[in-house]
Amino acid sequence: MGKHRRPGPPNQPSRAVPRVDVASPLAAYSKRRRPPLDIYRRHRPLHGGAGHLRPDEPRALEEWDGFTYAPAGTAPDLAAAQRWVNELTPGESG
């Protein structure tokens, strides 16, 4: 029974999802509007390649808009992009 204790690898966000409110008529719709793995912000290198290589190059910032990831700006380097991804937006808790 020990192998089924964790839902996934320890280095990835939890895939556990909140319970669906059966009384809500929009419950199925709301479930589909969540981003993959509940990641609302992400960054990508502007010139392609792996995200951890060349940390001094600019990054494209993307934010989940309820349907897809939309461009939200640029960051001058990897450290600034990681700070942007990890900062809380108004209305979030955590």
The domain containing residue 81 runs over which residues? 39-94
Q: Examine residue 30 and state whether it is found in any structural domain, yes or no.
A: no
Q: Examine residue 23 and state whether it is found in any structural domain, yes or no.
A: no
Q: Examine residue 47 and state whether it is found in any structural domain, yes or no.
A: yes
Q: Which residues contact residue 85 at a Cβ distance below 8 angstroms, ignoring those fewer than 6 apart?
A: 41, 42, 43, 61
- The first and second tokens of residue 32, run together, are 């589909």
Among 6-20, 34-48, 56-70, which is the least confidently predicted range? 6-20
Q: Is 73 helix (H, G, I), strand (E, B) or coil?
A: strand
Q: Examine residue 55 and state whether it is found in any structural domain, yes or no.
A: yes
Q: Examine residue 65 and state whether it is found in any structural domain, yes or no.
A: yes
Q: Examine residue 31 and state whether it is found in any structural domain, yes or no.
A: no
Domain total of the chain: 1
Q: Examine residue 18 and state whether it is found in any structural domain, yes or no.
A: no
Can you tell me which residue has the tokens 């108004």? 90
Q: Examine residue 54 and state whether it is found in any structural domain, yes or no.
A: yes
The predicted-structure confidence for 44-92, as pLDDT tens digits, reads as follows: 998 888 878 889 999 999 998 888 899 999 999 999 999 999 986 555 5
Q: Is residue 30 very low, low, confident or very high in pLDDT (cuts 50, 70, 90)?
A: confident
- The first and second tokens of residue 66, run together, are 């309820």
Does 40 or 74 have the greater pLDDT score? 74
pTM of the full structure: 0.61
Indicate the DSSP class of residue 2.
G
User: What pLDDT is attached to residue 85?
Assistant: 92
